[in-house]
Structure 1
């Protein structure tokens, strides 16, 4: 008996214990988490793209395609070393010209704490229940709260259910759907995702990943026909931009409907929206150089679209843009079957769109880090959540004054409120009886402010005055020239979005052991912005006669204390009036 008991214990010790997992169903979250659905506030089938009421309005083939999860994704934050996903699809796993990993697979991307995108490799099993395992996930220093993940769903299949699992000792929480206005795509099978090898390589998802704007994918394989019913639905969406990319479904003889349907559709959109509308030509066929019929087929569609565009211009309908076949530039090797895109074609499609969209939305992208917008999550507070708070607050209450900056602004006072406020009395005295929003974010660099501006924090209202204080967190990473160029790019972005507002740029505040460098940088900054906005120098008010930071006005040699904020408030009073 003793020997048997010992043997049982020995076996138990020697057999490795499997980690226990906790599982999360996105549809059971307390808030909407499925991204890419434009109708969040009304009944919609799980992982579908149109509201349930559309079933009685659109043709059955289109409705069936709308139940496929192309362009949908789920975002979450976790510090887990392993992620498991299990789900069931309703249709065939693959197609003759498109692999199962694209038709029915998923794709996982991570964003680290400095806003850099990372692809996650997964091991998968395509059975009745499809499973993906992403293991060996590691995190950079200070990433104790993990990374932000985005899980892209199948391009050409419908989901019955899905669960995400992580080890029990890992953190996990879903990220809510963004309140930022989406880019809306209405198109064909190419827009839906044919024939990407995996969901992340569909051009709409590449656009989502690279621009970081929400994207609604209303691409319907063989059914992007510029129909009234779809434009009626599109007109309900409060979009940042509409993309109309239906020409591949209307070549040859079908092209005769393009002119009238395009005019009717654009006019319908303009009844409810002033958002830019981008009309897109047929991207051509891989064999158009060897087949006159193929060439004439797509050219007939593009001629009709161009005529419609010219007519809209003559009607003086504003914010209508045009993307040509040549601008798209799909090479012959960018197509699987002469029509549908390979990953190479998808990448080219996305790049052409990104270039055009950045022009339309005035989102300049530079070549140095301070001029390349990106997110961050370097502080313990929820950076992404604060951004969403700002968007919500701006919609609820139009601000008269904006204070934009990093932790120095964040922890001063005002709304959205920080966990700690160190200068509330000075804030209340300075901004008495004024609506002021605090757009300060702890640990923000110049490029993080640029991202927030590009992603809606200055949209939908008209402010009277805007104060910008940024750059101290770049001192350890960038040259003075790079810092000044980044600040200049921010000022241009502000003026495009808030042209009526008075813009005030504050010089960088003194910082222990960096006072001389900051003084010189501020002089160069003042010279660079002269005439374009108002420069405010507070440096001398916060240092002693030798130019050394005044310890009585700061906490830790960087952040003002209550007395420091009082000095700043007094200095800004004449500009706030």
Structure 2
């Protein structure tokens, strides 16, 4: 099955570019190169990643505060977290087009990206969703036999009516429409990170954006049943359009 068309509200999709923060660019470029090298080293060792997480600082956090959870849950699968601090959708697209997944054939990709589009740019929801659509299109063309688990943007700011929370929710409404239930599957785990009144749990997201170690435990609990189901599913037919 092919992707639905990009959101009609936006005529021009974001173009792929490296991270556009001069003070971070050398670090970001080195991070991209290190992730590529790690992926190829795993492949050369006969442990090519079958599960790849793609995203921004929240995905990058699996290599930092979330590392104990990663080791317990995913390291043996084998899996790879390819997150870069500061990434928006156009930055991740640049990484994909510059070798991030070359020579890999993971069974499942977990995509979580877009909160920096909302937070840094205050981008309209359609612009962020269009950036995610372009990433899905790129992944489908490069890895037609890989499924994608598209995660909803995580909730931001304590109160449910806060501006960035509402902006991310508007993006999520559009992201849900990009899933076809075959190659692309959508999952919203926001309720696992909030209380009964929909306020953020500060023990899970201390700065109202990034996860604590407990937050990564909660995230893993929320996504693992879907990960297990999709990883166990029959392989996709890469020749099917």
Q: Same fold (TM over 0.5)?
A: yes
Q: 2:95 aligns with which of 448, 452, 475?
A: 452
CA shift for structure 1 position 575: 2.9
Partner of 2:201: 550
CA shift for structure 1 position 394: 2.1
CA shift for structure 1 position 529: 2.6
Q: Secondary structure at the match of 1:553?
A: coil
Q: How does 1:418-497 map to 2 (within 5 A)?
A: 421-476=64-119, 477=121, 478-497=123-142
Partner of 1:509: 154
Show CA shifts across 1:223-259 (max 9, x none): xxxxxxxxxxxxxxxxxxxxxxxxxxxxxxxxxxxxx
Cα distance between partner residues in 1 of 2:213 and 2:38: 26
Q: Secondary structure at the match of 1:458?
A: coil
CA shift for structure 1 position 559: 0.1
Cα distance between partner residues in 1 of 2:55 and 2:104: 19
Q: 1:573 aligns with which of 207, 210, 224?
A: 224
CA shift for structure 1 position 399: 1.5
Q: How does 1:192-271 map to 2 (within 5 A)?
A: none
Q: Is the 8 A contact 2:195 2:201 kept in 1?
A: yes
Q: Is the 8 A contact 1:515 1:549 kept in 2?
A: no
Name the CA shift for 1:367/1:452 in 2 (closer, same or farther; >3 Å).
farther
Partner of 1:529: 179
Cα distance between partner residues in 2 of 1:548 and 1:520: 17
Q: Is the 8 A contact 1:376 1:444 kept in 2?
A: yes
Cα distance between partner residues in 1 of 2:147 and 2:130: 20
Q: Is the 8 A contact 1:464 1:502 kept in 2?
A: yes
Name the CA shift for 1:547/1:533 in 2 (closer, same or farther; >3 Å).
same
Q: Is the 8 A contact 2:65 2:212 kept in 1?
A: yes
Cα distance between partner residues in 2 of 1:504 and 1:446: 16
Show CA shifts across 1:443-463 (max 9, x none): 000000000011111111211
Cα distance between partner residues in 2 of 1:367 and 1:454: 22
Name the CA shift for 1:517/1:377 in 2 (closer, same or farther; >3 Å).
closer
Structure with more helix by fraction: 2
Structure with more strand by fraction: 1
CA shift for structure 1 position 555: 2.4
Q: How does 1:28-427 map to 2 (within 5 A)?
A: 368=12, 371-376=14-19, 378=21, 380=24, 382-397=27-42, 398-413=48-63, 421-427=64-70
Show CA shifts across 1:292-313 (max 9, x none): xxxxxxxxxxxxxxxxxxxxxx
Bigger RCO (CA 8 Å, 6+ sep): 2
Determine if the alignment matches structure 1 residue 564 to structure 2 residue 215: yes
Cα distance between partner residues in 2 of 1:518 and 1:529: 17
Q: Is the 8 A contact 2:129 2:175 kept in 1?
A: yes
Show CA shifts across 1:480-505 (max 9, x none): 00111110110110111111112110
CA shift for structure 1 position 424: 1.7
Q: Secondary structure at the match of 2:177?
A: helix
Cα distance between partner residues in 2 of 1:445 and 1:495: 19
CA shift for structure 1 position 546: 2.7
Q: Is the 8 A contact 1:510 1:549 kept in 2?
A: yes
Cα distance between partner residues in 2 of 1:497 and 1:422: 31
Cα distance between partner residues in 2 of 1:464 and 1:530: 17
Q: Which runs of 5+ in 2 are unaligned?
A: 1-9, 43-47, 229-241
Please, what is the CA RMSD of the aligned residues? 1.9
User: TM-score when scaled to structure 1?
Assistant: 0.34
Q: Is the 8 A contact 2:61 2:67 kept in 1?
A: no
Cα distance between partner residues in 2 of 1:375 and 1:367: 22
Q: Secondary structure at the match of 2:186?
A: strand
Q: Secondary structure at the match of 1:428?
A: helix
